[in-house]
Each structure stands twice: as C-alpha cells, then as structure tokens.
Chains A and B, each alone.
Chain A
Amino acid sequence: MHRLSDPVLDWVAALRDGDRKSLARAITEVENETPTGNALIRAIHDHLGRAHIVGFTGAPGAGKSTLINAFVGELNRRGKRVGVVAVDPSSPISGGAILGDRVRMGDVGGSDDVFIRSLASRGHLGGLSRTASRVVDLLDAAGMDYVILETVGTGQSEIEVAGLALTKVVLFPPGAGDDVQAQKAGVLEIADILAISKADLALADRAEQQLRQMLALRKARGWTPIIVRTVATPAQGIDTLFDAIAKHYEWLTQRGVPLRQMRLKTVLAQVAGDVLRRRIELLESPELERLCADLDSGEIDYGEAAERALAIAAAGGHVDATGTCGQSLRAE
C-alpha cells in the first residue's frame, strides 16, 4: 500500500472543509482517472457513507431535470447540502458532448448549498459514466447530505443506477399510457419510488392504475415501492416525494444492509467489464482472429468463445492509457 502524500491529504481536508474549488478540481482528477485522482479516492475512504444517494431515472422527456430541480429546491428549503451529478451522452462520432442538464436547474443552481457537476458519458454504455460512482464518493466525502444522480435516460440506465443509488426514483410521464405497459419489467424491479411526473395531465389516473396493477403482479419483496404524483411547475407533490424518499432511507438503515459493499462490487464489475471490453476490441492478435473465424464457422459457441477471449486478453493485451474518451466507438 502506498503512503498517501501530504498534499493529497491537505487537498481532502480542504474539500471536506467546504472549499468548492478544491472539490471541483478533485472531481476533474477523478473523472480523468489520473494518478492524483486515484490517490484522492483512496484518501477519502474513511469519510464515506453520510450522503443519501438518490438516483432519478426514466425515459428522455419524462421530466427528470425539472423534477430534480424542484426536489433539490425542497431540500434546499430544509437546509440540506446537495450534490447533483448529471450525466449526458457523449457523441459516439466526435466524442464531444453538450452537457445541458444544469440548464434546467437554474432555480437551485445558484444556491451555495447546491453543487452541480455535469459529466459526459465518454463512451460508457449504461446510463452513467465509468467514473460516476467515484464522483459521487467525492461529493459524499465533501459533506453532502444528499447526492442526486441524474442518468442519461437510455434503456439500460435504470439498471446501472440501481448499483449506485441507495434510493431509486423512476419517472413515468402519463400520456404514454401504453408505454407504461411496454416498460421493461426490470425497471419496476429496481424502482423504490415510482414518480408519475407531469401529473397534472389527464392521463395521470390511468398511469397510476396501471402501475398499481403491475406492482400487484410482482412477488412481494421487503420494500413495496411508493407511488407519488408530482408536478414540477408549479411544484406539487414534492414534499410527498421527499417523505417517500426519507421513508425508504429509514427502511434501508434499519435493515442494516451492507449497501456500500454491494455497491462497490457492482461498480467494480462495471469498471472491469469496461476495461475488458476495450481491451478485446483494440487487441490485434492472430489468436483472436482464429477465434473469430471459429465462431463464424460455428465450430464453437459464443459462451465458449467469450471464455477464450478473456484468457487471450488477460495474457497478451494491454490498453492504451489514453483510451478513455470513447475511442473504441469513434470511427477511424
């Protein structure tokens, strides 16, 4: 184990002390996976576990940003310190991104007790970014009472946020009545709170009905998701949302679930998967080519091929240290 240098410890002390510039620059190091960033992550391990991590997810257009804006406003009113992590997709062609979520949080973005950071997905497929979990940790260590996670809103983002957030809020806009049925069953599995956003629309009743029906069909679990109806502007149902989230947190802490450990394992699996995927994609080896040929001709099946590919990659491959910017997806 390397000893942590004093400058790193000083840096951690500064960001824990409320120095927002230090926090922002620490996030940059971590986002770029620099050695300094890695050192910072190791240095904060004793300071984690305070923040209630709440993930908001739902299809694009469901109104996530506006709802988060209203919710953070409520937290602000109650004197809570809030960190917000908003992830937007990087273009698979250029690698660039428009980080436009904080635009919709204009009302609360100006408060001293609110810290918003936008992250580009940088080629990560899953609704967040590869380093999102570590960024959340930094905000936790900096003393936030709540860390809000806003996902890209793709089909898989709900699953990914499940590994990271303690409380998962899934948004359903009404009016997509039939789409509620079409939602993947997995979404319902992970939701702790089901929020019917834009609940002032006429179809809200129907959407709620459908959600209750779907819940009733599910096997009973420890926690029964709470359904809330919210309107972002003018804000309605936000305190109900707050209460539901608080209730879930209470239930979690009472049960003594080793949340952090579960989270670490999930995130480790994701990061490892990412690294491995890039390694195999970028690897040029005759063994790998032969493997692909065998796969093509039907000599072996995918399961076996995957096991062999893992072995080949572990043996000979190495990943370019700069390949963190979606390069595997960029056209040459």
Chain B
Amino acid sequence: MSSPVPKRPTERYPAEVSAFDRSAARWREEYSRLAPDDAAIRNRSGIEVKPLYGPDDWSGENYLDDLGFPGQLPLTRGIYPSMHRGRPWSQRQLVGLGTPEDYNARLKQILAAGSTAVSLIPCNSVYRGYDVDEVDPLLLGTCGATVNTVEDMDICFRDIALGKISIGLNDPLPFTLLALLLAVAKRRDVPWGEITGTSNQSDYISHFVANHMFFRVALPGSRRILSDHIEFMNRHVPGWNPVSVVGQHMQQAGATPAQAMAFTLCTAIQYAEDCRARGMEPDAFLPRFTFFFDISISFFEEIAKLRAGRRLWAKIARDRLGAKDPRSWRFKFHAQTSGLDLTRAQPLNNIARSAIQAMAGIFGGLQSLHTDAYDEVLSTPTVEAARIAVATQNILRDEAHLADVIDPVGGSYYVEALTDQMEEEIERVIGEIDAAGGMYAAVDSGLVQTLIGESALAFQRQIESGAQKVVGVNAFQVEEDASARASLERPDPADIDKQIARYQRFKAARSRDGVQRALDALARAANDATQNSYEKVVDAALAGVTHGEICTCLRREMGFGQPLCIV
C-alpha cells in the first residue's frame, strides 16, 4: 500500500483535504463522461438518490449519538442487544381460508414447514362483522377462515398448545376473535396469563383511512373500545400486545414509505395520549405497543425507513410521551412483504420479489416477518406457494446467514445518509399532522386521505408513463399461457354448507337467557363510559354469543362506521 486512504476532510486531517477534493472531482468528471444522460432519480418518498455516497454525505464520527450500540439509545442499530443472532425473527405467516378445519390443516402444514408463530386471517364476512348466515355463500371462506363461534375457534386451534406459541389474530375492533380465543383457553384450562400474541389489527385509525373493510364502528366508539381493550388486556392477559399500529394499510393505500412511517408514529402518539387521558402512565402501556409495516421492493428506502422509524420512536416515547422505562422506547414491529409489488404476469417472478422485500425488512431490524406467496395476486395461496414463502425465510436465515450479524448495513454511507433524510421527511410530515390537531383530527377531516390519494395518483402515473418499470407488466412482457397459471383455491361448497349448518346448531344449543343477558350487559356498557366495554365482549364470548351478534350489538349502540370517501 503506497499512500493512506484519504479520510473525510475534518479538523483532524486538514492536510488531506485537497487530496480528497481532487479525487472526488476526478471521479465526478469521469462519471459524467461515462454517464452523460444521467438524470435525477428519486425514490418513492421523493428523496433524491445519488450515484455515490461517501464520507462527505455521512461520517461515522458521532457513532454514539447517531447510531449507538444495539439495545442502547438512540437504538438505530436494533432494539435488543443480540437481535436476530440471539433470537431469529418470528416467521409469522398469515394463514386463512375456508372452514375452521381447513384452517387447522393448513396451519399445521405451515408450522411443519418452519413457521414459528401463528397468524389467523378471517373471512371477509367476519371482517365486516357478519356471521355465515348473513352473507351470500359464494363469498364465504374465499379469502380467510369462517370463524364465528367459540366452537369454530376451538377447531382452528385443534392440537395447538395455546399457551406455547405466539398468536396474531388479524381481528379488528371489537376483537371478537380474541374474545373467542380466550373462551377456548378457559375451556382448555390454559391460564390467560400464559397466552401471548398481538391484536394485529387494533389500529382503527388506519382502517378508517385506508382499509375501510375492517372498520365497523363509528370513530368515537372505536376510540373508546380500543382504550377499554388496552386496559383489559393489561390486567388480565399481560403477555398480549393489545396495540399494533399498522403502517401497512397507509402504504398499501398509496402513502409513500416516509408518509406511512410518519402517519404510523402519529397514530401511536394519538393512542398513547388517549391512554394518558384515561389516567394510565406511559410506562404502563407503551411497552406493549407494537407496529406493523409494509415492505415494498424499494430496497434501501425500506431499510432506511425502518431504521429512521426506530430512532424516531425512541425519541418520541422518551421526550414527547414521557416514558422512562427503556422497554417503552423499543420499536417492536412485524412486517409483511408488499403484495402491491407482486404481479399477475409471470407470477414466479414474485418469489424473487418477496425475497428482496424480506431482506430489506431483515436489514431494517424487524422482530417478525410474513413473506407473501408468489400466487398471492391470483387467490389465496396454494400449499406449494405457501411453503416456498416459508422456505424463503429459512434460506435467508440459514443459507445467506442474514441473522449472523446485527445491523450489517449500519455504517454504509448510503444507508446512513438515507436514514437521516428519511427521518427528516418523516418529521416534516409529523409536523403537518401536528398542525392539523393530531392524527385523529387529521383523519376525521380527511387531510390524511387526501395526502395518500395524491401519492397514489403520482405513483400510478409513474407506472403508466413507464418511468417506473414493472417486469412483465410494462417492461419485458412475454406472451403467457394462461392455463399454466397456478390452480385456484376455493373452499368446497359442501364444506361451507356444513359450516353454516354447524353454526346454526351451535346457536340452537346455547342458553338463550345467558346469551340475552350477555348482550344486554354489552349494550349497557356501550352506553356507559364508566364500564369496560371489552370486558363485556369477552363475557359475551364466554356465554356463547357469536361474532356477528357482538358486532351487531355494538354497531347499533355506537353507530356504524362509514369512512370518509375522497376521490
């Protein structure tokens, strides 16, 4: 080695300044000669991406302030000291289709393939608050499992040890599925103290804004039920995370990655303030706040988004929300590879896409991951496709050894510079929401929906114009044999009929008085702010009330939620 590598120009190395500048100038000149038509490139959040990043973009000099060690503030490199090397991320694949028996069978297959945690997707009819006898049978069980009663839930988890595995129930307010699960636990004599998991879809604000389907009760009622839910779970099921703030919905609705992160943090702030208004101390509820993100295929942008979010949340929790317990500062999140980047054309390409998205999430420091199956865009995944999705995670962990080094991209000039820029943009959007009176107000007025709509339109134009290429769609298209596409997963109509019949038998066999009393108590609690409405939901489940009956009661008492419609 002849001369030492030029260091970043600083006070310590003034003599090196001209060498650095000379080399930089030479590189710039050679680069423009070789790439004369180079135009500015922006990522999805609107941040410009340069061809090269170096010490003048980011310096590691302030390591402790900017990055720190894993498990220590500012937490940029990870919320735990050992991260994936100490304990790999949970492989939490979404499973949901057909009848409870179908679900149980598929769940066992996925666990056998290597998945380490449970996630249950209920049928769209369940999402809308209906039981199986209230919708067109053609629509039952096609996108998720039909679960309405404690009997159904028991079958879903047949041979599964409830207290030994983390359970994600993708069940929005009023969390009837969780109530049914707790009823099953009681049946099996599993103490509630041993149940662990997350109310994955507890973020009613994100549902109001972006995923309407999950939104059943009017906004003010939702606000109340969530706070009741947090209190109840804290007291009776302390191993459960009652809050999952969902950035995925906003991003899927069209928010840029930076916007999605900003909206998510603002929502978390809103929920925290609602809890505080109830007299709860931040450290009593923040340690059980979790987050849920979409991972797009904008690889580096996603890594930077997640790292920036983690660093910001630590600051927000400690400085803005006043939390003193370090567990409150931890940005725990689950992530799902984004189905929006998957294509119907040349579907096997989606395997590559999911792998890349998964890598971004892993480098971003997630705690739990779902990888989409390649046929996600066509229908509910086939067993084969679902297995490949799980295998993808195994390969990343065991063959590519992505869990061996904590925050392996930390210190990259590009990643650190981009993390800083994403943080800036996220904070700017947070400022906009604060100015509008906080997330609840911003969403009630339609501001957030408008911003998301604008981003969605802008992105669509990029694709329409070809500026953003999508392989197989607007670039590299090929003629495909339609019949070669993956087979269709549809529940057997005979099984659906049996499910409906079983549901009706269950209802007929219940104690009518018990059911009526429970529903009356629920209705009373809905109108009495001094009572805990969620406690009455759980009591109802224990008394044999069905999902649809609970939802109908609460919608009647609290108003049916109709999200704002802005085009």
Contact = CB atoms under 8 A, between A and B. Distances in A.
The answer to A–B direct touch (Cβ < 8 A) is: yes
Interface of A: 98, 100, 103-104, 106, 233-234
B559 interface: yes
A93 to B, nearest CB: 15
Contacts of B562: 106
A103 B559 CA distance: 18
Nearest to A106: B562
B565 interface: yes
A234 B565 CA distance: 19
Contact of A233 (B559, B565, B567): B559
> 7 smallest A-B Cβ distances: which pairs?
A98-B567, A103-B565, A100-B567, A100-B565, A234-B559, A233-B559, A106-B562
A56 to B, nearest CB: 19
Interface of B: 218, 559, 562, 565, 567
Nearest to A100: B567
Contacts of A104: 565
B563 to A, nearest CB: 11
Nearest to A107: B562
Contacts of B559: 233-234
A267 to B, nearest CB: 31
A103 B562 CA distance: 11
B220 to A, nearest CB: 10
Contacts of B565: 100, 103-104
Nearest to B446: A61
Nearest to B567: A98
B310 to A, nearest CB: 38
Given A100-B567, A233-B218, A234-B559, 6 more contacts: A98-B567, A100-B565, A103-B565, A104-B565, A106-B562, A233-B559
Contacts of B218: 233
A31 to B, nearest CB: 22
A98 B453 CA distance: 14
A307 B385 CA distance: 77
A100 B565 CA distance: 9
A233 to B, nearest CB: 7
B17 to A, nearest CB: 53
Contacts of A233: 218, 559
A289 to B, nearest CB: 40
B559 to A, nearest CB: 7
A100 B449 CA distance: 15
A5 B562 CA distance: 48
A104 B562 CA distance: 10
Contacts of A98: 567
A282 B423 CA distance: 53
9 contacts: A98-B567, A100-B565, A100-B567, A103-B565, A104-B565, A106-B562, A233-B218, A233-B559, A234-B559
Contacts of A106: 562
A160 to B, nearest CB: 25
A233 B444 CA distance: 14
A175 B562 CA distance: 23
A106 B218 CA distance: 15
Contacts of A103: 565
A138 B559 CA distance: 37
A100 B567 CA distance: 8
B156 to A, nearest CB: 35
B456 to A, nearest CB: 15
Nearest to B445: A61
A81 B488 CA distance: 48
B216 to A, nearest CB: 16
Nearest to B566: A100
Contacts of A100: 565, 567
A98 B567 CA distance: 8
A104 B218 CA distance: 15
A105 to B, nearest CB: 12
Nearest to A98: B567
Nearest to A103: B565
A234 B558 CA distance: 10
A106 B567 CA distance: 17
A234 B567 CA distance: 25
A233 B564 CA distance: 14
B448 to A, nearest CB: 16
B133 to A, nearest CB: 22
A37 to B, nearest CB: 29
A100 B562 CA distance: 15
A260 B567 CA distance: 37
Contacts of A234: 559
B20 to A, nearest CB: 51
A249 to B, nearest CB: 32
A117 B562 CA distance: 22
A240 B248 CA distance: 45
A106 B560 CA distance: 12
A103 B566 CA distance: 10
Nearest to B565: A103
B454 to A, nearest CB: 15
Nearest to A233: B559
B219 to A, nearest CB: 11
A103 B563 CA distance: 11
B566 to A, nearest CB: 8
Nearest to A234: B559
A174 to B, nearest CB: 15
A293 B562 CA distance: 57
B39 to A, nearest CB: 27
B324 to A, nearest CB: 35
A98 B457 CA distance: 15
A331 to B, nearest CB: 19
A106 B562 CA distance: 10
A239 to B, nearest CB: 20
A98 B559 CA distance: 28
B135 to A, nearest CB: 18
B565 to A, nearest CB: 5
A197 to B, nearest CB: 15
